[in-house]
Chain A
Amino acid sequence: MSDTTHGDTGHGHEVEPITYTQSDERGRILLGLDEHRSRRTDTSQRAAKRAERQIAGMFTFAAICFVAAIAAYLLVPKHDIVWVPVLGNVSASNLSLGGLIGLGTLLIGVGAIQWARALMPDEEVIQERHELRGSDEAREDTIEQFRRGAQESGFMSRPIIRRSLLGAMALFPLPIAFLLGDLGTAPDDKLRHTAWGNKPRTRILNQGSGQMVRPEDLAVGGLINAIPVGLTELEEQEGSQNARAKAAIILVRMNPDEIKSTQGPNWDYEGIVAYSKICTHVGCPISLYQQRTHSLLCPCHQSTFDLSDSGRAVFGPAARHMPQLQLDVDSEGYLVAVGDFAEPVGPSFWERG
């Protein structure tokens, strides 16, 4: 056991590392470790043998589980449903495959951990820690090498090479910046218009039935999820559902005397009102309508809009009311939206103003 005292750092002296061998008592005291406790498997040969048998048993059982899983895959019918306590009516195949493979994997892991805990040596080993700072000689050597390298490359003595290299490196990121800039087109004023503005007096399509909506289709207290006629063709044309994400509306009917206000004069039609579906908070589409309180409740963050009162936000984090569509009836008796929304639909964006 070598037993050297600390060298004085910071004065360029050679520092000899302190070495400890295993279970060195002085090392233990210096490091504050408790006295070493033996495990049962260290002192008793029988305990060690039993641990060995248990671990081997776990590995063996894991092997059996894997073979059983193969058998289960081949033998358990795919569509069988069994009742199991706690889980309920589950697929027999899922349960047997998952259970067996899972159990086998678990047993391999548990066996390995138990092997390390119970049988592998558990002596504390003390590791050396050298000083991080290098010796003065090594430092001078390094600096000298770097200086020599710089000089030999001629970086400082050949200015034409140096400047042309710097110029090339400066221009290197520019093409990447241009490519990245082309990742998407700026929305321009697309966010301010929806498909309802493509044609004046657009008819309204019941999203569920695919039929155009007439006022008499909607009973008092009823709701219809609707889109503008021509939207599916527009989607095929544009190759995306962006138009639907802005144009989806909800049509509800209430008693005309229950309407407290609308966003414009006579924007309702005999108690039928049309509002955008897209929440003005973060943009979730809202379908949850409570008939008696006329409130539209967004499931995402519980913004609630009163559709009898211009879609005003009465609860939740939404800051703005729900945009409304002006309704009318055309000469053939179908419900139409007179024009586009009076404001951009959906959540706020920087240029919304």
Chain B
Amino acid sequence: MKGKPAVNVSSSKRRRPMAAGVLLLLALVSTGAAYAVTTSALSAKSSSAANAANADNARQGKLLFTEGCSSCHGLAAQGGSNGPSLVGVGAAAVDFQVGTGRMPMAAAGVQARRKPPVYTQAEIDKLAAYVASLGPGPSVPKASQYDFSDANVAAGGEIYRLNCSQCHNYAGKGGALSDGKVAPQLMDASPKQIYEAMITGPQSMPVFSDRQIPAKNKQEIIAYINYLQSAPDPGGSALGRLGPVTETVFLFTVAIGALVAFAIWIGSKAR
């Protein structure tokens, strides 16, 4: 090329590659900043359960719902042949079912089982906000409601035995219901989940609202279940705390087997 072009003639050429780079950088930075700002704002919102019914949350929850839940529960959560209506079940039900991993169900069946949750707590809060917006229902309990630090464990045991042990077993080890359904064992349940289960009555479990069992009594029940989760077995192996079932198996195999072995030995001829 003859001679150098003037600065202002080729300035656009020279600035274009740089400008593109700068623009790209600006776009990336601003997108990243916007993302960081909105997610921190969202997590700040979802960490307080009282704000779960926030309209923004509900809108994002609807998107999550449409993606992961509507195939069984219907696009408007009205229910269908594969899943019941979620109108009026409340945020607590969503927090419980999705938080324990029961929902989304692994496969259609008579009972949804606990498994590792698929959604993060933030996503669960959004789903809960959406379902709560469909109709009034039990809301997620506040930490003060399931705080059992002052609760009387013995009183909790009495209420537990009256209301809970017929399905969940005296030591919270679960039990069988009809038609292949089960009352699950309670050894993995957190205090919030126990509270939510009582107020929402998941699957076959009856509803124990705060008018039937006041919050104070619920705290006592939670204290008792918490005790069961860590209680030792002073008398020896509890064989799963399942009572006569496992104990009988043990007796008829190990214990009677040992007695039979001794009897054979006593009657045998010494060599």
Contact = CB atoms under 8 A, between A and B. Distances in A.
A94 interface: yes
Interface stretch (B27-35, B96-104, B123-131, B232-240): B232-240
Contact of A209 (B201, B209, B214, B238): B214
B17 to A, nearest CB: 68
B181 A290 contact: yes
Interface stretch (A64-72, A217-225, A259-267, A333-341): A217-225
A98 B237 CA distance: 13
Contact of B177 (A39, A94, A218, A297): A297
Interface size class of B (residues with CB under 8 A): 35 or more
Main secondary structure of the interface of B (DSSP, over half): loop
A207 interface: yes
B212 A206 contact: yes
Interface stretch (A83-91, A232-240, A342-350): A83-91
Interface string A169-196: 0000000000000000000000000000
Given A208-B213, A219-B212, A222-B207, A88 B232 contact: yes
B206 A90 contact: no
B64 interface: no
A95 B217 contact: no
A326 interface: no
Contacts of A289: 206
A289 to B, nearest CB: 6
A217 B178 contact: no
Interface in B134-185: 159, 162-163, 166-167, 177-179, 181
A94 B236 CA distance: 8
A87 B233 CA distance: 9
Nearest to B234: A91
Interface of B: 159, 162-163, 166-167, 177-179, 181, 201, 203-209, 211-214, 217, 232-238, 265-266, 268-271
Shortest Cβ-Cβ A-B pairs, 4 listed: A89-B232, A91-B234, A287-B166, A221-B207
15 contacts: A39-B271, A90-B232, A94-B234, A98-B236, A118-B270, A209-B212, A219-B201, A219-B209, A221-B207, A225-B163, A289-B206, A292-B203, A293-B179, A297-B178, A299-B166
Given A118-B270, A291-B204, 5 more contacts: A94-B235, A208-B213, A209-B212, A219-B212, A293-B178
